[in-house]
A and B are shown apart, each in its own frame.
Chain A
Amino acid sequence: MALLQISEPGMSTAPHQHRLAVGIDLGTTNSLVATVRNSISTVLNDEQGRAMLPSVVRYVDEQTILVGEAAQRTQSEDPINTISSVKRFMGRGLTDIGDTSRFPYRFLDQTGQVQLRTVAGAKSPVEVSAEILKVLRARAEASLGGELVGAVITVPAYFDDAQRQATKDAARLAGLNVLRLLNEPTAAAIAYGLDNASEGVYAVYDLGGGTFDISILRLSRGVFEVLATNGDSALGGDDFDHRIYCWLLEKNTLSALGPQDTRLILTHARTAKEQLTEHEETRVTAMLSTGEVIDNVLTQAEFHEMSNNLVQRTLQPLRRALRDANLKVADVNGVVMVGGATRMPQVQRAVGEFFNQTPLTNLDPDKVVALGAAIQANLLAGNRGEDDWLLLDVIPLSLGIETMGGLAEKLIPRNSTIPTARAQEFTTYKDGQTAMSIHVVQGERELIADCRSLAKFELRGIPAMVAGAARIRVTFQVDADGLLSVAAREMGSGVEANIEVKPSYGLSDSEITRMLQESGQYAKDDMQARALREQQTEAQQLIEAVQNALDMDGELLATNERSHIEQQIVALRASLEQTDTQLLKRAITALNDATVKFAQARMDKSVSHALSGKNISDLEVK
């Protein structure tokens, strides 16, 4: 039988043969695999009947790797070689991770992505994630009895290009053919929408272990159209555990905590949080390695109070997503809750009050993402069911390019439906300029320094022309996985440069959060900074132009005229040192005014030059 079931991944098979495809939720805390069997999406369990695989990998020695429960159980014995929450490091550089002392790992700073030094050698987050995916792949193949044609892997909606690319690489490394990267809230919407045959506008509130996503979708006759997505990438269930952890430290005067005791108290904090979902109060008792004892009672009311501002922090992204979608709260027909952290009653209450309706929780919030991914995988593999449906998703963060003066020019705004492309023409700003570097960024802020750098590349061989004559057309293409490629072309000569954006870095979680929050807070600062940069650029261009003109045609000026212009150049240079936009503007105007007559003289000269077809001075010499 096995021979008959072997098929090349990605290749067509007989029309009636069901092609094996799975959906994988590669989570921060837990991972799952699901598939569609007999038209029903089902999570695949391991041999012990467990659906969730803890996202923990332990390198025991060169040969032995433990994944899941076995790795998690022995985590405190061997913290250096036991990697958990590796999703946080995907597509991240060392500087993105920040305070590495929070983790028991030995980080290696590699270009592009950090690595972790283990007993089995240096491991990249992509390799670690691949170990998790390999286990899920083996589970699926054992359970389905054949080779998979492909998999849909889910990613948080806010994941940027580097993180998406890293996820795709991990899947490839695990021997999986990636049919599509799918946003987690969208996956949940598919599972929910197809299950309930829903129509209308739905909000998916996805609070996971370490991330928060909100997506607004319109469901209409089999089309799932994402209208807007937003989030807070540094907010999840872990933060609620941490609140209880801090409360316990306040209640008990303990000696300095070692890493093992820290982990012990955090584990108890997590259990307490889960207890308080169904009970009015819970008792936390723990004995530390120092012999000190913790014994406290925590009530639901106390917990809700200490975590209230965390819940409130999720509401601003909701308002932003609604604004971007041009919708009001009253337009939302249903709210779907996703992620284990949405089990907390205070979260459900706050979301219910915000949307003025009871959130829907009839699908298991831990499984709904994997279930939706499986349905998408089934469709992409070519197993067409009775009902045809389609998913239209968006890009979460704006994509742009660096322009003069360190400004970001947005080419593809956030929440654009993918696949999408945008072309824009740029020009040279110096005479004879033959190369131009293109810097691609992602983010909402106006200044390059505040956005995430995705890639830099050079377009060389532009034919030498006067400033402003070259026409360089830059095309951004974002595919259905949300991955970007960029091409640039000089329109006159056809010089071309293409790059797959394989960025060296992704945005760190905290960076995205900061960017999203700051894009609001600093909108005004940005405008002022932008105005200043524009004036500075204009001033520099003006000085350069006037200098060139003086060098070429200075003899057209009387001595006092020339010195007047030079004085204004000095004055403008001086104002460039300041950060006063108005002052700069006045100095630019002054220099412009000082050169009016000079410009006229140059114009006359070039006109007579053109008329005679010969250089005037040549004529005079003769």
Chain B
Amino acid sequence: MSSTKLDLHQSYFQLFDLPQTFALDGAALEQRYRGLQMTVHPDKSAHLPDAEQRVAMQQATFVNEGYQTLRSALRRARYILKLNGVDTQEETNTAMPMDFLVEQMEWREAVVEAQQSRDVDALTELETRMHVETAALEAQLADKIDTEKNYAGAALMVRKLRFMEKLAEEIHAAYDAIDY
């Protein structure tokens, strides 16, 4: 039961017993996440005194946070950089390469256009392309972080990935806007 106390100060990589790399064994993460929740989730201590239920909630929250952080490429990269003392400057650094910004503008115009013409197929195609682009960025990020260990260089890629995440949100909002 929840008598096994988790160290809430260890890194999420230590928590899930995974190497601190951007490349991720998703199946292992999922399996260990479920294994940990099987022991720490508050449902397992609902019949125990309040104090133990509170501990269970903290532990389960920590495990959930860790899982959400590691399974998202963007959050995982941000986290690795933070562990290495590098700030991704997503709020403060707005200097992006011009060609990237132009590309982002084009993406957004295409989304708006698809939304205005209520074109579900066009949105789906954009979504597919967006997934391909995002995967390419993630591959570059893996190189920068795992191979080159160039964390400062990786920060720019994280900011790019953040743009792609916003784009994904806009595509979802466009689907919603046309009631699809």
Show the binding face of A for B, using Cβ within 8 Å. Answer: 10, 12, 19, 149-150, 179-180, 220-221, 223, 316, 319-320, 323, 376, 379-382, 388, 390-392, 416-421, 477, 479-480, 519-524
Contact = CB atoms under 8 A, between A and B. Distances in A.
Interface residues of B, number: 27
B46 A380 contact: yes
Contacts of A477: 57, 61
Contact of A390 (B41, B67, B172): B41
B177 to A, nearest CB: 5
Majority-rule SS of B interface residues: helix
What 10 A-B pairs have minimum CB-CB distances, sorted nearest first? A520-B176, A523-B173, A382-B47, A380-B46, A480-B42, A419-B61, A421-B61, A419-B57, A223-B34, A417-B64
A19 B173 CA distance: 48
A392 B44 CA distance: 12
Contacts of A10: 47
Nearest to B54: A479
A521 B177 contact: yes
Given A180-B43, A417-B68, 9 more contacts: A12-B47, A19-B47, A179-B47, A319-B180, A323-B175, A391-B43, A417-B67, A420-B65, A480-B57
B42 A419 contact: yes
17 contacts: A12-B48, A150-B47, A179-B47, A319-B180, A380-B47, A382-B46, A382-B47, A390-B38, A391-B43, A416-B68, A418-B64, A419-B61, A420-B64, A479-B42, A480-B42, A523-B174, A523-B176
A501 to B, nearest CB: 15
A2 B77 CA distance: 61
Contact of B34 (A149, A220, A419, A480): A220
A394 to B, nearest CB: 10
B21 interface: no
A419 B47 contact: no
Nearest to B127: A323
A221 B35 CA distance: 11
Contacts of A392: 37, 41
Given A323-B175, A523-B176, A180 B115 contact: no
Contacts of B176: 320, 519-521, 523
B43 A520 contact: no
Interface of B: 34, 37-38, 41-44, 46-48, 57, 60-61, 64-65, 67-68, 112, 115, 172-177, 179-180
A524 to B, nearest CB: 6
A380 B43 contact: yes
A179 B42 contact: no
Nearest to A149: B47
B131 to A, nearest CB: 10
A522 B44 CA distance: 42
A316 to B, nearest CB: 6
Given A149-B47, A380-B43, A523-B177, A421 B65 contact: yes
Nearest to B39: A390
Contacts of A380: 43, 46-47
Contacts of B47: 10, 12, 19, 149-150, 179, 380-382
A520 B179 CA distance: 7
B115 A524 contact: yes
A522 B43 CA distance: 39
Contacts of B175: 319-320, 323, 520
Contacts of A421: 61, 65
B31 to A, nearest CB: 9
Given A149-B47, A180-B43, A390-B41, A480 B174 contact: no
Contacts of B67: 417
B123 to A, nearest CB: 11
Contacts of B172: 323
Among B43, B64, B112, residue most surrounded by chain A Cβ atoms (within 10 Å)? B43
Among B47, B48, B175, residue most surrounded by chain A Cβ atoms (within 10 Å)? B47
A427 B15 CA distance: 32
A547 to B, nearest CB: 26
A381 to B, nearest CB: 6
Nearest to B30: A220
Contact of B57 (A12, A382, A479): A479
